[in-house]
Structure 1
Amino acid sequence: MTQARICAVGAGRMGRGIAHVFAYAGFEVALLDAKPRAPEEFARLRDAALAEIRNGLTTLAELGLFEATAIDRVVSRIRVVPRSDAAAAVGDATVVFEGVPEIKEAKAEAFALIDPHLAPGAVVASTTSTFLVDELSGCLSRPERFLNAHWLNPAYLVPLVEVSPSERTEETVTEALENLLVEVGKVPVRLKASPGYIVPRVQMLAMNEAARLVEEGVASAEDVDKALLYGLGFRFAVLGLLEFIDWGGNDILYYASRYMTGATGEGRFAAPAIIDRNMHAGRNGLKDGVGFFDYRDRDLEAYRKSRLAGFLEQLRLAGLARPPA
C-alpha cells in the first residue's frame, strides 16, 4: 500500500500521532477534525495540531534521530481538515483511522460522519483501547472492511500496534493494514477480540500490583519504580514475557505461583492451567528444548549470546556498564 492515502479522524492526541507517523514515512495525510467548529475555533485547533506535531519532530531531531532540515518537508504532508470538508478528506483516502475519544456515542458519530463518503475499497480502523471490534462494526455499512488497530501512546514512538479483526473482516483487509504498518516502521500483532487487548491487559495487572506494594508498605513508590525499571524493565526490554518463562523455566513459575498463592492467600497469584500442563508434559523451556516456543532446532549458544548482548546494551543505556576494577 505504498500509494495509500491516509485520513485520521479526530484531531486530538491519537490523530496527531498517526499523522506524524505517516507523514514521517512519506505519506500524504488528512487530519480530519470530527467536531463542528466556528472558523476561528477551527483555525486555532489546526495551528495547535500542526505545532504539536512540529514540536514532536523538533524534539526527535534534537535527540539525533534525523536532520532538522527535514521537519518542514514532513509537516507539509499533513493538512488539517474541518468537519465540513469530510466528504473530500474521507473520499480520497484508502485507509481511514478513527481516533476520537473513548465514548461509544462519539465513535458512532464519527462513523456516521465518514461512512457515506468512504471509497468502496477503503480500509477503516478504529484505534480504540476500550471497545471490541464487534461492538463498533455495526456502525459501518461495510463491516468486512473494518477492524481495530490499537496504537500505544505516544503513537509516533511506540512501535506496537495491536490489530484485531472481527470474523467478518476480510483477510485481505487485515493483511493490507498489517503490511502498511510494517511499511511505516510499526510492529503489528494480531489478536482475537478480547477485553484489554494484550498490552493493556498485562500492564493493568502490573500497575495494580505495583500500587498494592506501596499501599501495603512493602516499599516506597521510589523504590518500587526503581525495582521495576532496573529489574523488570531491564529484563523485558530484551525478552518477551513468555520467552522469559522458557528462559528461567516453566517449573520455576509453577512452584513460585503455588508458594505466592499459599503465602498471601490471594488467588490472583495462581498460575493458569497452561503452566500446569506444560510442567507435567515436560515443556519447561530451554532445558527441555520446548516450552511456549520450540528450541530443538535452534543454536542455543548463539541464542543465549544474542540475548546477553541485549542485556549488555541495556546496561550501557542505563549508564551502568563498567570495565573490571
Structure 2
Amino acid sequence: MSAPRFVAVGAGRMGRGIAISFAYAGHRIALVDLRQRTPEAWQKLREEAMAEVRGALLGLAKLGAIEERNIPEIAARVEMVDAAGAPAALAAAELVFEGVPETMEAKREAFAQINRHCRADAILTSTTSSILVTQLAEIVEKPERFLNMHWLNPAYVIPVVELSTHPGTSAEVLARTRTLMEGIGKLPVVCGPAPGYIVPRLQALVMNEAARMVEEGVATAEEIDKATRYGMGLRFAALGVVEFIDFGGCDILHHASREMAGSIDPHRYQAPAIVGRMMEEGKLGLKTGSGFYQYEGRDVLAYRLDVLSRTLGMLKHAGLWKPPAERTLS
C-alpha cells in the first residue's frame, strides 16, 4: 500500500483535528511526530492521539453525523508516524500541514525536515494562528508553494479554512490547494498576509466588547450570550458581515459609528475611511444599486426573498420560529 498523500506534522490538537477531517472524507493521512522519543513516550502519545480521534468520531456518532459501526474504518485511515518514519511520509506527501508549537524556533526545526524530505511539487502550509505567512515563507525552500492555512476549531466540523498567501505564492498552488480542500468538504477563503486572518480578527473585537460590557455592568454574560446567539448570530449566519452592511445601507453604519464614537469611545467606533468615501459617492448598498457589491441588473425582490429565506431557516433551526397565533377578535 502506498503512503498517504496528506501529512499533518505535529500530533497535537490541531494535527489530530486535521487528520479527522481527511479520514472522515475517505482519505488516508499521516499524523507525523518529529520529536525523538523513547519507545514508551511514543506509545503514550500514539495512544492519546488515537483515543482523541476515536472520541471525536464517537461524539459525531452520538449526534447522528456518522454510524458508530463506521468509526473503526474511519479511524484506521489516520496513520501515526514517529520521527524515524517521518522522512518517508514526507517524501510521499502531496499536501503538508505544519502544526508544531507557535514559536519560530519550532517552525524552523520542522521546516528544516519538511524542506529536506518533501518533493519539489508538494504544497506546504502552516496552521499557525499568530505568525505571518511572509515570515514563514523565508524559511521554506521554494516558497512559491507555501501558504498559511488557518483552521477553525473544531477542525473536523467547521467548514471554513482561511488561506493566507504571500506575494510569492503561486496562483497554481493556491488553485490546487483550494481544490484539495473543497474535495474534503471544506470552504476555503483567501486573505493576504495580515495578522488575525479574517475570522479571528473580527471575533476578537466582538469578544473583547462583550467582556467589556460585562465589566461595565451593561448586561450579564447570560443576556449578552442570548442577544448574540439569537440576534446578531442568527443574522450573520444568514448574511455575511459585508453583505449585511450593503443590505441595511452603508449610511446606517456611518451614522451608528458616529453616535457610538461620540458616546462610547472615539477610537473603537470610528468608521474606516472607506465608509466615508462610499457615503460621499452615494454608494450605500442595495438601496442605491451599488456598495461593496454591485446590484445593477439584479432582481432585488428575489434577493430580498432569498435573504428572508436564509433568516427563516436559521430561526427554524434554532427552534424560534412559531406559527401565527390564532385569535378571535372580540
**TM-score when scaled to structure 1?**
0.96
Deviates more, 1:304-313 or 1:254-263: 304-313
Gaps of 5+ in 2: 326-330
Structure-2 residue corresponding to 1:100: 100
Is 1:190–2:153 an aligned residue pair? no
Once the two structures are superposed, what CA deviation does each residue of 1:113-146 show, in whole Å capped at 9, x if it has no partner?
2221011211100011111111111222221211
Contact 2:160–2:188 (Cα < 8 Å) also in 1: yes
Contact 1:122–1:145 (Cα < 8 Å) also in 2: yes
Structure-2 residue corresponding to 1:113: 113
Is 1:48–2:53 an aligned residue pair? no
Aligned residues with identical type, % of pairs: 52
Q: Which amino acid aligns with 2:296?
A: R
Is 1:168–2:159 an aligned residue pair? no
Pairs within 5 Å for 1:211-290 = 211-290=211-290
Structure-1 residue corresponding to 2:138: 138
Gaps of 5+ in 1: none
What is the root-mean-square deviation of aligned Cα atoms in Å?
1.4
Contact 1:286–1:295 (Cα < 8 Å) also in 2: yes
Is 1:316–2:313 an aligned residue pair? no
Matched residue SS, 2:125: strand
Is 1:126–2:143 an aligned residue pair? no
**TM-score when scaled to structure 2?**
0.95
Task: Sort the Cα spacing of 1:4 and 1:38 in 2 relative to 1 into closer, same or farther, 3 A.
Answer: closer
State the distance in 1 between where 2:96 and 2:142 align. 13
Q: Which amino acid aligns with 1:79?
A: E
Q: How far did residue 4 of structure 1 move? A: 7.5
Matched residue SS, 1:169: coil
Q: Which amino acid aligns with 2:80?
A: V
Contact 1:4–1:95 (Cα < 8 Å) also in 2: no
State the distance in 2 between where 1:226 and 1:34 align. 44
Once the two structures are superposed, what CA deviation does each residue of 1:197-226 show, in whole Å capped at 9, x if it has no partner?
111111111111111111111111111111
Structure-2 residue corresponding to 1:151: 151
State the distance in 2 between where 1:25 and 1:318 align. 27
Once the two structures are superposed, what CA deviation does each residue of 1:254-310 show, in whole Å capped at 9, x if it has no partner?
111111111124321010011111112111111111111111222222211122112
State the distance in 2 between where 1:53 and 1:313 align. 32
State the distance in 2 between where 1:4 and 1:42 align. 21
Contact 2:246–2:284 (Cα < 8 Å) also in 1: yes
Matched residue SS, 2:162: strand
State the distance in 2 between where 1:244 and 1:83 align. 49
